[in-house]
Structure 1
Amino acid sequence: MSVPVLLLEAAGPESEALARAAAASGHRVHAVTDAATLATYSGELRRLLAGCLVTDFAQPGQTLADITHYGRRIGVQALLTVNEYLTDLAASACAALGLPGNDPERAGAARNKALMAAALDDGHVITPRTTIVADLRELRDLYPAEAVGFPCVVKPADGAGSAGVTVVTGPEGLEPAWHAARAARVMYGLPRDERVLVQEYVGGREFSVESVTQHGVTTHLCITRKHTTGGTHRVELGHALPARLPAAAERTLLDQAGRAVTAVGVRNGATHTELVLGADGRCTVLEIGARLGAGHIGVLIQHALGIDPWRTLWDIALGRHPAALTPTRGRYAAVRFLTTPHAGRLVAVTGLPAVSTTIPAVRVRVAEGAPVGPATSNRGRLGHVIVTGHDPLAIDDQADRILRQITITVGPGSQS
Structure 2
Amino acid sequence: MKDQPAVLVLGGGTRLPKALRAHGMYVVYGGTRDEFGPAHRDACDEALLLPDDTPGTWFRRAMLLHQEVPFQRVVTVRERFLTTAARIGDALGLVGNPLRTVLTLKDKALMRQHLDSRAETPSVRSRMVRSPDDLNDFIAQVGLPVVMKPRDGSGSEGVLILRDPADKVAAHRKVTRRPETFLVEEFLDGPEFSVESFTSHGAHRILAITEKFTGDNAVEIGHVVPARISADHHEELTAAVRAFLDEVGLTEGPAHTEIILTSRGPRVVESHNRPGGDGIVDLVRHARGIDVRDLLAAQIAGVSDGLPDDTAAAGAAATWFLTAAPGVVTRLTGWDEAARCPGVVEVSPDVRLGDTVAPLRGSSDRCGAVIAIGADPDEALDRAHHALSLVHVTTEPATTAEEEQEERR
Same fold at TM > 0.5? yes
| TM-aligned CA deviation for residue 209 of structure 1 | 0.3
Match of 1:217 among 193, 203, 211: 203
Q: State whether residues 136 and 175 of structure 1, in contact with CA within 8 Å, keep that contact through their aligned partners in structure 2.
A: no
The equivalent residue for 1:299 is 282
Q: Measured at CA, do residues 179 and 80 of structure 1 come closer, stay the same or move farther in structure 2, by a change above 3 Å?
A: farther
Q: Measured at CA, do residues 194 and 383 of structure 1 come closer, stay the same or move farther in structure 2, by a change above 3 Å?
A: same
Q: Say which SS state the counterpart of residue 364 (structure 2) adopts.
A: helix
Pair 1:376-2:329 in alignment: no
Question: Deviation string for 1:157-210 (max 9, x for gaps)?
Answer: 1121111101001233224124447879xxxxxxxx833211110111100000
Q: Measured at CA, do residues 288 and 314 of structure 1 come closer, stay the same or move farther in structure 2, by a change above 3 Å?
A: same
Question: Deviation string for 1:222-267 (max 9, x for gaps)?
Answer: 11100111x4x11101111111422221111111111221222211
Q: How far, CA to CA, are the matches of 1:182 and 1:275 in structure 2?
A: 30
Q: Say which SS state the counterpart of residue 82 (structure 2) adopts.
A: helix
Q: How far, CA to CA, are the matches of 2:241 and 2:358 in structure 1?
A: 34
Q: How far, CA to CA, are the matches of 1:323 and 1:121 in structure 2?
A: 37
The equivalent residue for 1:392 is 377
The amino acid of 1:308's aligned partner reads D
Match of 1:159 among 153, 158, 161: 153
| TM-aligned CA deviation for residue 153 of structure 1 | 0.4
Pair 1:39-2:34 in alignment: yes
The equivalent residue for 1:313 is 296
Counting matched residue pairs gives 395
The equivalent residue for 1:190 is none
Q: Measured at CA, do residues 133 and 354 of structure 1 come closer, stay the same or move farther in structure 2, by a change above 3 Å?
A: closer
| TM-aligned CA deviation for residue 294 of structure 1 | 0.3
The equivalent residue for 1:197 is 183
Q: State whether residues 131 and 175 of structure 2, in contact with CA within 8 Å, keep that contact through their aligned partners in structure 1.
A: no
Q: Measured at CA, do residues 181 and 89 of structure 1 come closer, stay the same or move farther in structure 2, by a change above 3 Å?
A: farther
The amino acid of 1:309's aligned partner reads V
Q: How far, CA to CA, are the matches of 2:55 and 2:376 in structure 1?
A: 49
Same amino acid, percent of matched pairs:
30
Q: State whether residues 5 and 26 of structure 2, in contact with CA within 8 Å, keep that contact through their aligned partners in structure 1.
A: yes
Q: How far, CA to CA, are the matches of 2:345 and 2:73 in structure 1?
A: 31
| TM-aligned CA deviation for residue 379 of structure 1 | 1.2
The equivalent residue for 1:173 is 167
Q: Measured at CA, do residues 281 and 16 of structure 1 come closer, stay the same or move farther in structure 2, by a change above 3 Å?
A: farther
| TM-aligned CA deviation for residue 25 of structure 1 | 5.3
Root-mean-square deviation (CA, aligned residues, Å) is: 2.7
The equivalent residue for 2:131 is 135
Pair 1:288-2:271 in alignment: yes
Question: Deviation string for 1:135-156 (max 9, x for gaps)?
Answer: 234334444xx22410110111
Q: State whether residues 151 and 182 of structure 2, in contact with CA within 8 Å, keep that contact through their aligned partners in structure 1.
A: yes
The amino acid of 2:288's aligned partner reads L
**More helix by percentage:** 2
Q: State whether residues 10 and 30 of structure 2, in contact with CA within 8 Å, keep that contact through their aligned partners in structure 1.
A: yes
Q: Measured at CA, do residues 183 and 155 of structure 1 come closer, stay the same or move farther in structure 2, by a change above 3 Å?
A: farther
Match of 1:110 among 85, 105, 110: 105
Q: How does 1:17-166 map to 2 (within 5 A)?
A: 17-23=15-21, 27-33=25-31, 37-54=32-49, 57-60=53-56, 63-123=58-118, 124-143=120-139, 146-166=140-160
The amino acid of 2:387's aligned partner reads I
Q: Say which SS state the counterpart of residue 378 (structure 2) adopts.
A: helix
The amino acid of 2:257's aligned partner reads T
The amino acid of 1:219's aligned partner reads R
The amino acid of 1:128's aligned partner reads V
Q: State whether residues 237 and 336 of structure 1, in contact with CA within 8 Å, keep that contact through their aligned partners in structure 2.
A: yes
Pair 1:8-2:10 in alignment: yes
Q: Say which SS state the counterpart of residue 105 (structure 1) adopts.
A: helix
Match of 1:256 among 214, 222, 240: 240
The equivalent residue for 1:188 is none
Which stretch of structure 1 is more off in the superposition, 23-32 or 122-131?
23-32
Match of 2:389 among 386, 400, 404: 404
Q: How far, CA to CA, are the matches of 2:343 and 2:165 in structure 1?
A: 47
Q: How far, CA to CA, are the matches of 2:330 and 2:98 in structure 1?
A: 44
| TM-aligned CA deviation for residue 118 of structure 1 | 1.2
Q: Measured at CA, do residues 148 and 64 of structure 1 come closer, stay the same or move farther in structure 2, by a change above 3 Å?
A: same
Instruction: List gaps (5 residues or longer) in structure 1.
Output: 185-192
Q: State whether residues 193 and 211 of structure 2, in contact with CA within 8 Å, keep that contact through their aligned partners in structure 1.
A: yes
Q: State whether residues 29 and 47 of structure 2, in contact with CA within 8 Å, keep that contact through their aligned partners in structure 1.
A: yes
Instruction: List gaps (5 residues or longer) in structure 2.
Output: none
Q: How far, CA to CA, are the matches of 1:65 and 1:373 in structure 2?
A: 37
Q: Say which SS state the counterpart of residue 110 (structure 1) adopts.
A: helix
The amino acid of 2:192's aligned partner reads E
| TM-aligned CA deviation for residue 324 of structure 1 | 2.9
Pair 1:336-2:338 in alignment: no
| TM-aligned CA deviation for residue 50 of structure 1 | 2.6
Q: Say which SS state the counterpart of residue 267 (structure 2) adopts.
A: strand
Q: Measured at CA, do residues 399 and 316 of structure 1 come closer, stay the same or move farther in structure 2, by a change above 3 Å?
A: same
Q: Say which SS state the counterpart of residue 276 (structure 1) adopts.
A: strand
Q: Measured at CA, do residues 115 and 135 of structure 1 come closer, stay the same or move farther in structure 2, by a change above 3 Å?
A: same
Question: Deviation string for 1:275-307 (max 9, x for gaps)?
Answer: 1112x3611111111110001111111111011
Q: State whether residues 329 and 393 of structure 2, in contact with CA within 8 Å, keep that contact through their aligned partners in structure 1.
A: no
Q: State whether residues 3 and 77 of structure 1, in contact with CA within 8 Å, keep that contact through their aligned partners in structure 2.
A: yes
Q: How far, CA to CA, are the matches of 2:54 and 2:388 in structure 1?
A: 40
